[in-house]
Structure 1
Amino acid sequence: MTAGEVAVSPKVGVAFSNHLRHVESMSLHPSGASWISHLNVVILGEPLESEENDLVFPSQEFSSQALVSSPEQYRNMYKKSIEDPAGFWSEISSQFYWKEKWNPEVYTENINVRKGTVKFKKMANGGRVNSWTCINFAKNVQDNLTRGFCHELAQMCQISGMEFSLDPVLHPLTARPDHVERALSACYHDAMTILQP
């Protein structure tokens, strides 16, 4: 199918053109479902005709109430978070109440073994830890030993005075040492799926 052609769905008998239209009212059906007269059809592997025509922007009223009200503000925040992570996260964190203020070192990371001890730390102290998980990168350590170690570590944190939940969000994950970033990403996405309402 080329750009500009109209596709017809054999199941529904609905024609789709190459436009995307924002549905402004969901009051047509109780479930919020409604018929969209123009829908962009994209075939995987083919370039989009024009991405600019496919963008749907929120209303001005909605944007004014958002924490990040424009794409430009988002890009500026993202740039600052990359260039100065400690300053960026300190600024964000200062908007919340903290029982105990965090260390000046808000963010440190080293995932290169050649540069020293591997560490990835964001605000380890100065608050409570409600959600955590454990990743086992050792080939010869069994899962039950990993679970036991993680539970003992959580107890040790509680004994030292931290507000620390004893139950992990996810069961301990086992991964190869050369898949650190992949394992962290998988844990993050799985945890967000569970924790987000």
Structure 2
Amino acid sequence: MEPPPLLLPPEHPSSDAAHSNIPPPTMPPSSDIESDDDIFEVDEVTEDRLAQSWDLTLVGSILLGKPYCKQAVTEALIATWNTKFSVSSLYKDTYMFHFQHAMDMQNILGEGPWFVAGNLIILEKWVASRSWKFEVTDFWIQFHALPEEFMDLEIAAKLAKKVGTPWKVMLINGFRGGQQLCYLRARITLKILKPLKSSIMLKRRDGTQSIIEVRYERLPLTCF
């Protein structure tokens, strides 16, 4: 029987470089406000109502690839997401996705990565400051060729930290299609500008060494 997944406390990796299609902000024109009649003050109820409506919005940027129209992005994602959403263009290769239910949006964030014509689309939650960076994405990874005695959740967490920022680890031990499966699995946040690790060396106290294979589930055509 497999042990339950180990949930790890969230970490927020720092970024090395920006990857964003968002244009720099422009300076507002000089103010010519002369009286209270020139001021529109938004009440708290309206602020809260507007904020709640945008809480169901994700912003996505397509990594590399050719430019896509809104219809092409919608058609590429509607079958894989299997939920109701609307799409609107924001910037070049950057789109807003509006959902009807919070659970649908959370499922999309938690089940990625997602792709448009084989190109990775990086998703972030809407923020009013528009300070998205599109520098990280979440992946499931697997660790294979471990010695039997190292099939352990704490080992999985330590190995996952060698690849990215882990927040969930699992031990997979069972059968599928008559074939035995035995490996460690982790959900991690990856910096897309860093090269992917394909292996990790395991060094034991007696001096013996072995190579652990790192596999990435649903790796896109553009491997960063």
* TM-score > 0.5 by shorter chain: no
- The structure in which a higher percent of residues are helix is 1
Q: Which has more radius of gyration?
A: 1
- The structure in which a higher percent of residues are strand is 2
Structure possessing the higher relative contact order (Cα contacts under 8 Å, 6 or more residues apart): 2
TM-score (norm 2): 0.21
